[in-house]
Structure 1
């Protein structure tokens, strides 16, 4: 579904990504794990068209999207849930969701999608008229995910969905990620909580200083002594 070939990204003199290659197959949850500054967010931002690659190629469903503008990439079927949630603070929950549907014009379909989001996240239904800035961190994360789902993506990019959340909420968010996946959305997941990420992913890539150093089935990586020591605190 998604193929990244020899992708490099520079921030002026800093080489953020160095010739990375990875792929996401339809229906998978693929995790990117690694320390801060490893290049995980940069990878997602390059896929979304937010940062320009210095070299390499990104293809989605057989079509090259390497230098496509971000809104066109959303129209192709890729949505990103950014690190830090980035909800529209002065808009209500409902208005945030409507913003997520900005590429759509099917009014009945949008209403049905909002209902589906409210079923997936009952807390958002209770707070539909509240301003986003008044929500808790966990509720804002749910809203950011709901907003991204409003464009009906075939691939959703999740950047640190568990960041700053209480352990009980982290489990809930990961259950919802699995549910979204079961309903047919392919997932690429960037996550500091490597243990949780590897527990739900089908495959994973380990990034270190902008390079892929390990890859394979998530269960294998979770059992790998190097990974356990470096990322699982064992």
Structure 2
């Protein structure tokens, strides 16, 4: 569904992404793991159109989207849930979800997806008229994911969904990710919690200083000695 070919990305003079290539097959969860500053979030921002690669190709369902504006990429079915959640704090939960569907015109489809989001996230239904800025971190993460689902996406990119959450909430968020995946969603997951990411991923890539240094199935990397000592605490 998504193929990234040898992209190079710069912040001014800083060469942040150095020839990264990766594949996300239709229907799979693919994880990017690595320490802070490895280039994981920059890779997602480049795929989603928030940054432009200097060289390389980004193919989504066969179309080269490198340099395509971010809102057009969302319209093509590829949606990012940003690091830090970025809900619209002064708007209600319902208004945030409606904004997720801002490119859509199919009223019946929007209503159906809203029902589906409330089934997946019952807590959002309880708080639908509450200002989003008053939600807990876990609830804001659920809202950010629900808002992305309202775009009628075929593929989600999740950037650090467990950041700042308690272990119990981390498990809940990952259960939701797996449920969304079981319903047919393709997912590219960036996650500091390498143990959790690899346990749900079909395939994974390890990034270090802007390069892919290792790849394999989630199960292979979970038992890899180098990955264990660097990212899994031994």
Q: TM-score, normalised by structure 1?
A: 0.99
Name the structure 2 match of 1:14: 14
Deviation of 1:153 after TM superposition, in Å, equals 0.7
C-alpha distance in 2, partners of 1:32/1:4?
A: 13
- State the 4+ residue runs in structure 1 displaced beyond 2 angstroms: none
Deviation of 1:194 after TM superposition, in Å, equals 0.1
Q: Secondary structure at the match of 1:53?
A: coil
Deviation of 1:215 after TM superposition, in Å, equals 0.3
C-alpha distance in 2, partners of 1:132/1:202?
A: 33
Q: Secondary structure at the match of 1:173?
A: helix
Deviation of 1:136 after TM superposition, in Å, equals 0.2
Q: Secondary structure at the match of 2:214?
A: strand
Cα offsets for 1:148-183 (capped at 9, x unmatched): 000111110000000000100100100100111110
C-alpha distance in 1, partners of 2:102/2:46?
A: 22
Q: TM-score, normalised by structure 2?
A: 0.99
Deviation of 1:210 after TM superposition, in Å, equals 0.1
Cα offsets for 1:27-58 (capped at 9, x unmatched): 00000000000000000000100011111000
Name the structure 1 match of 2:72: 72
Matches within 5 A, 1:189-208: 189-208=189-208
Name the structure 2 match of 1:3: 3
Q: Secondary structure at the match of 1:79?
A: strand
Deviation of 1:217 after TM superposition, in Å, equals 0.6
Give me the CA root mean square deviation: 0.5
Cα offsets for 1:7-46 (capped at 9, x unmatched): 0100011111000100000000000000000000000000
Q: Secondary structure at the match of 1:32?
A: strand
Deviation of 1:221 after TM superposition, in Å, equals 0.6
Structure 1 unmatched runs, 5+: none
Structure 2 unmatched runs, 5+: none
Q: Secondary structure at the match of 1:144?
A: helix
Matches within 5 A, 1:162-173: 162-173=162-173
C-alpha distance in 1, partners of 2:184/2:214?
A: 27
Cα offsets for 1:165-219 (capped at 9, x unmatched): 0100100100100111110110000000000000000000000000000001110
Deviation of 1:106 after TM superposition, in Å, equals 1.1
Matches within 5 A, 1:139-154: 139-154=139-154
Question: How many residues align structurally?
Answer: 234
C-alpha distance in 1, partners of 2:152/2:183?
A: 11
Q: Secondary structure at the match of 2:140?
A: helix
C-alpha distance in 2, partners of 1:126/1:119?
A: 11
